[in-house]
Structure 1
């Protein structure tokens, strides 16, 4: 039982780290897409 508890705690920590990493990546992608769309609209 002790081993199981330790494993669960580790998994939770890993999940939290992954979420934090994913959030900044999404923000960067959105920022990059916006400036690209603007120049395309101007020539048209």
Structure 2
């Protein structure tokens, strides 16, 4: 009983970790895109 509960917990934890890593990658690429567009706007404004 205890062993199966620990197994289920490990599966849940790995699923949560995978979910968070995918979201972090998406957020990171989105953030880089925003920064690039902002620097482009600032460069056009300065020029």
Measured against the shorter chain, the TM-score band is 0.7 to 0.9
**Would you tell me which structure has more helix in proportion to its own residues?**
2
- Cα offset for 1:36? 1.0
Equivalent residue runs for 1:25-44 within 5 Å: 25-42=27-44, 43=46
| TM-score between the two structures when normalised by the length of structure 2 | 0.76
| TM-score between the two structures when normalised by the length of structure 1 | 0.80
How many equivalent residue pairs? Answer: 44
Structure 1 portions without partners, runs of 5+: none
Counterpart Cα distance in 2 of 1:21 and 1:8: 20
Equivalent residue runs for 1:1-44 within 5 Å: 1-42=3-44, 43=46
